[in-house]
Every structure is written in C-alpha cells, then in structure tokens.
Amino acid sequence: MNMQLYTELCQRFGIRYPIFLAGMAGGPSTAELVAAVSDAGGLGTLGAAYMEPAAIRQSIQDIRKLTDKPFAVNLFASAATKASDNLDRIGEVQHELNRMRETLGIPQAGCGSADWFEKQFTVLLEEKVPVISTAFGILPEPLMRQAKAANLLVVTMVTTVNEALMAEQAGCDAIVAQGSDAGGHRGTFDLTEHPMGANIGTFSLVPQIVDQVKIPVIAAGGVMDGRGLVASLVLGAQGVQMGTRFLTALESGAHEVYKQALLESTEESTVITLAFSGRPARGIRNAFIKRWDATGLEPLPFPVQNTVTRDIRNAANRQNNPDYMSLWAGQGTRRLTSGQRAKAIVYETIQEALSLCGSSEITDPHE
C-alpha cells in the first residue's frame, strides 16, 4: 500500500506525524505528557477545561520549558449551568450521594460551580498558544474572531455530520470526528436532541464527515495503534486523535489505581454514563455508576453534577479506591501497555503504520 503519512494536516499544524493527543481534563493531562507527544512529532494537548486560569498559564509556560514544538489547549465551549438553577433537585441528588460519602467516610461538600471559560480563553490568547481546541461546541463568534485575528488555529470535536458542517462554517481549521468508541465525554453539541450523545461509530462517522467538509478531519475513538491510524487515513481522515492509549503512559497524570483498572479492562468494560458529570461520557463501569443507576434519579445538568460528585472522586483518589473514581476509557483497552513513555507510543504507532504502508520512513516534502 502506497500511502502518505505526512498529510495536509501535518503541514498546516507544523507537526511531523498525524497524531493528536486528546485533551484529557481532570488529571491525566500533564505538561510532561503534552510536551512528550509534541516533542515526538505529534500535537500534544493540555486538557484545561477544569483548570483555573492562573493554573492554565503556568502549565503553558511549563510545556514551553519542555518543548519548542506546537501544542494545543482544550476547553469546554458550552454555557455553564448554575447550581442556583437546580435548587429544587440538588437536595434529592445529595441525599443519594451521601450514601456513597458514608461508604468513603467523608462529609457532604458544597455545590458551587465556577465558570471560568472566558478568562481561560483570554489566557490562551495572551499566551499565544498555537492551537485552541474545544469540546461540547464551537467557540462563540466573538471569541473565534479574536482567535483568528491572533493567527491561532482552532479545532472542534464533533459527533455528527451536521456538527462538522457547523464547525466548518464557523471557521474552524480542522475537525475531530469523535466516534462512539471514544473514552471520556461525548463531544455532542446539543444534548436535547441526543441525551446520551450522538453515538455513531468512528468508522461510520469519519467517511461521512470527510465527504461533506473541505477542512482536515481527525479520527477519534478506538484508535490505539498504527492499524487504526492507517484505517483512518484510508477512510479519508488526515490524522488521528488518541486519548486512552496515552492514559497509562509514564508521563500521564492518571492515578496509579486508575491505570491498573485500565490495564485490567476489556472491550466489554465501559459504558456511557451521565452519573459523574451530567454529560454523557464513556468510562469503566464501577461501583459509583452501578449505585447511581440503581437510584433511578436523573443527574443534575453539567457542570453541577460534576461539582457535587467531585468530593467523592477526590476522596476515592486519596483512598486509592477505583470504585468511586471516574475511570474514563475507550473501547480499545486491550492494546494498553504499562509504563511506556509517550514518545515511544508515538514512534511505535508510526512505525506500525509505515510497515503496513510498505514504507520504512515518513516523507516530509518540505524537508
């Protein structure tokens, strides 16, 4: 098979290999992991959605100390629901969560949710990050104008063809086509239409989006090795986004018992759940999800549900208890390896892809 791994996407984003690191917010995303993927020739992404603006700035500066290569910062582009808008339901949700707190031996915590989105975005502008990526929607039009005026590249995750068309129309430079195999939160824009997210398989979604848009498409969901990369390119994608594959990397900030749960999981271990955050997300089914499902309650909207469950997840981290952590994962976990460096994962993926393409080296026409 004669296939070019150095795609238009690589040229546009200034990277050597068509591999993006997913923006995994909430712990796994470290400056070391981001820098390692970028330094290896891919595009590292800082999952900054839950970070205070000052912490984002510090992480960006830390990444730049570790690599001079391009990288991205990922934010959640959705309007934050306020706890005060859900006072009538918070009591019943907290009542059920208190049963889990009793199991962990912790008191009930507060439920305030900070909305830092615009301040987070301002930090990205001020720091002139090379790439801004978003989940749950597109940058609002005024912010998109600012990003474009600053010559920053913008990438948006989509889960349907219609979302892809919206992203292209809004001025995005590339699209991540996220299939239902992917770990973590579904990127679906409108949950009123798709309450559990638009769950279209990666290899069904990618070619249909490719046929409808002109900007580069990045395949995400179930891509764990060079075979997934080559298959995605055959379907018309110009690159892949990999998250789960890097969760067990040496540089990953995922808790050690989280990594172990991943290594012990299979393709049957994950479910899409609203239990932790109020938005649909794929993760390993554990005691928290089972106990929440047994209540029959509808979770609070995102990010309020995420806030009211945070103390439980934090306690589980301190207690090394995976039963009450959010163990986000895709469906390809049998391909995970323990303690492998991120750079080695990138090179291994590329070498396998090159082997399948009948080539021994990648060709950069601009070298």
Q: For strand 184-185 and strand 174-178, is the pairing parallel, antiparallel, or unpaired?
A: unpaired
Say which CATH number the domain at 43 has.
Answer: 3.20.20.70
d(CA 38, CA 19): 9
Is the pLDDT at 32 greater than 80? The verdict is yes
Q: Is residue 169 part of a domain?
A: yes
Number of domains in the chain: 1
Residue 148 inside a domain? The answer is yes
In-domain check, residue 95: no
The pLDDT assigned to 88 comes to 77
Q: Which residues contact 164 (CB under 8 A, 6 or more apart)?
A: 158, 175, 177, 209, 212, 213, 217
pLDDT band at residue 365, thresholds of 50, 70 and 90?
very low
pLDDT over threshold 50, residue 366: no
Q: What are phi and psi for residue 343, nearest 5 degrees?
A: -60, -40
Q: Is position 261 within any domain?
A: no
Chain centroid to CA 134: how far?
A: 9
Per-residue model confidence as pLDDT tens digits over 138-191: 999 999 999 999 999 999 999 999 999 999 999 999 999 999 999 999 999 999
Question: Is position 31 within any domain?
Answer: yes
Residue 51: inside a domain, yes or no? Answer: yes
Show the beta-strand stretches assigned E in the chain.
19-21, 44-47, 71-76, 131-135, 153-158, 174-178, 184-185, 217-220, 239-242, 270-273, 281-284
The residue whose two tokens read 């830390």 is 62
Report the pLDDT value the prediction gives residue 279, as an integer from 0 to 100.
97
Does residue 365 form part of some domain?
A: no
Q: Tell me, what's the pLDDT at 288? A: 98
Domain that holds residue 240: 8-80+115-253+337-356
Q: Is residue 166 part of a domain?
A: yes
DSSP codes joined into one string, 222-248: S--SHHHHHHHHHTT-SEEEESHHHHT
Query: Model-level pTM?
Result: 0.94
